[in-house]
Chains A and B, each alone.
Chain A
Amino acid sequence: MRTSITTCLWALACTFTSASSPAGEPPLTFGRVASLELEAALAKKPSIYLKLDLARQVLEIKARGMVLDKVPVKACQGAARQAFYVKPQPMELRLPVLWEVVTGPGDTDREVIAPATLRPARRGDEEEEEPTPIPKGTPTPTPTPKPETPSRYRVELAGNVVLWVTDRLPAASLWDRFRQAVREGWAHVFRGEEPPQEPPGVVLLVDTEDARRLHHLFRQGMQLLVVAEGS
C-alpha cells in the first residue's frame, strides 16, 4: 500500500512543474502550493483541524498552523462496496482535498442524564438529610461500568465520503468477501433485506489508543486536510 502511494508520488513529482525549494523540503509542485494555501485558510480560523499526510503516514492535530499532536498512521486504504466477482479497482484520491465532518462519533457516542422529576432544592443553611440506612444483608449494587471509548468508528464527511478509523483492518480476502456476499444474498432472498449501500470511503488504520484519542475530535464541522507532501 505504502509502496503504491510512494511510487505514485514519485511519478507526480517528476511529472508536474516544480520550482526550486529549500533543502530538506519537498519539491514545490502545484499540489504542494495548493495544500499550503488550503492550510493557510484553515489557520485563519480559531478552530482545531486535522491534517492527514499520506506520504509521511501521519495525522496531525493542528491549530493556527502549528502541530499540537501527531498520530502515526499504519495504513490508509480505500473502501468500497463492490460485487465480489468484480476485480477491485484502485481508488483515486485527488490531492490536496479538504473534507468536513458531517457526523462523527464525537457527536453521537454520548451518555445522557435525564432525571425524571426534580425535587425542591435544599437551602444552603439546611442540614443534609441522613441517608436511609441500608438493611443488613443487602447485596452491594455493582456500579455500571463506564463504556470504553471505541477504537473502531465511522465518520461521515461532506461530499458523500466515509472515513473509517480502526485499529484492525476488516477481513477483505476473496474468501472473506465471498462469505460476506453470500450472507448478504441470503438476507436479501430469505429476509427481504437490501444489501447495505455505503458511499466510497477511506480506511485509516491506527493504534487502538490513538483511535480512542481521536474519537472525540471527529465531530460536526471538524476540517480534515488530506495531502501527500512527504516533507
Chain B
Amino acid sequence: MKSKTLFDKIWDGHVVRSIEAGPDVLYIDRHYIHEVTSPQAFNGLKERGIPVFRPDKTLATADHNIPTKDQHLEIKDALSRNQVEKLSENCSKYGIELFGLNHSRNGIVHVIGPELGYTLPGMTIVCGDSHTSTHGAFGTIAFGIGTSEVEMVLATQCIMQPKPKKMRIAINGTLKKGVTSKDIIMYIISEISTGGGTGYFVEFSGSAIIALSMEARMTICNMSIEMGARGGLIAPDETTFSYLRKLPEIRGVKDLESSINEWKNLKSDSDAIFDRELEFDAADIKPMITYGTNPGMGMAIDASIPMPADKPGESSSSYLKSLDYMGLKPGMKLLGHPVDFVFIGSCTNGRIEDFRAFAQIIRGRQKASNIQALIVPGSKRVEEQMVAEGLIEIFKNAGFEVRQPGLLLLSGNE
C-alpha cells in the first residue's frame, strides 16, 4: 500500500465521492454551530423545506455574540438577543443539542468540544469559525467553514472541498524555560509569514511537540490558521489518550480502550511524502511578543523590531503603516515599553492551564493602577475549575476583572 500522511488517512477515510476535476465530497463527523454563523443557514433549510440530516452529529453553543457580564440578565443588545433566541428556536425545532447561555456546560465552542468529549481522534470536524483548527490537536481534520457550508453540512452532513496540500512542521529539541506553545506558533508565523501556510494542512510533529500537553497543542493548532493554513493537526499519542481517559464523558464511543487501540494507528507513515517540510530547533525559540497589526509581526521578546527589508512576505509600505499605527519604529525594542491592557481568554488561551500558569505569576501581587486587566474563562467548566482551585480569588486580589465565558471582547462588540 502507498504510504500516507496522517492527514491523508483521515481525509481518504471520509471521502464519500470524488468529483472529477472537482472537489471531494467529505463526510463530517462533528458539526459545531453557534449563534452568529448559523441563522442564515437554518433559513436556507427552511426555504428548501428540508430537515437537518444528522442532528445527532451537530452540537450548538452560544459563544460569539453573548455578553461576558451579567449573563443571567436579558441580553441588552436586541440583535444579539435575537441571534441567541433564533439559535434556541432552531435547535429545538431540528432536535439539536444546545449548550446555550446559562447552560452549566456553556462555553467557547473550541473549548467545550474537547472538554465534553465530542472531539475525538480521527474525526472530521467543521464549524463556522476560523479557529476550528483547534480540534486538530486531537488528531482530527478540523477547519472553519462559511455559512453556505454550514447550511450544506446541516442538509447533508457532507462538505465539498478540494484536498489541500500537506505540510509537516517539525519542532525538535527542548524548549527553553518560559517558552510556551503560543511562543512556538508565533515563532513559526514570524518565520514563514501569515501567508506561509496558505493552501496547506499542517501536521506538527517533533520531540518538542510530543512533549506538549493537550491544552498547549490546542493553542498551536488553533493558531495554525494565522499562518494562512487551512488547519493543523497533531498525531494522537499517550498524552491525548490520557486526556480522554480523564474526561467525565466521551460521546459516541462504546469502549474507549478499544477505540484508543485503533487511534494508535493514526500517524503518518515513516516514508509518507509531504508537499513541504520545515524543521525548527526548539532551542532557537524565545518568548515572543508582537509589535504590529497582524500575527506575522512577532519577534523574540528581547529583539528589536525588524527593518522592512528583513520582513519578506510583507510589503514595506503596509509594514511601515502598521508600525506607524502602533506608534513604533523599525529598530525599536519593546522591553521596557509600558503595558496598557492585559487580556487572558479567547479560544486560543482560555483554558484552565493558561489560567493556572498565569496565577503562578501574579499570586500575591498587584496590577499597576494604569492597567486595565481582564480574565475571561473559555467555558463554564473552566470557570468552575478556577473557583475550585482558588484562581479567581488570586486574580481578583491582584486587581483583575474576571468575566464570564464568551468571545465578545474579540469580535469587538464590547
Answer yes or no: are A and B bound together in one complex: no
Q: Which B positions have Cβ atoms within 8 angstroms of A?
A: none
Q: Which A positions have Cβ atoms within 8 angstroms of B?
A: none
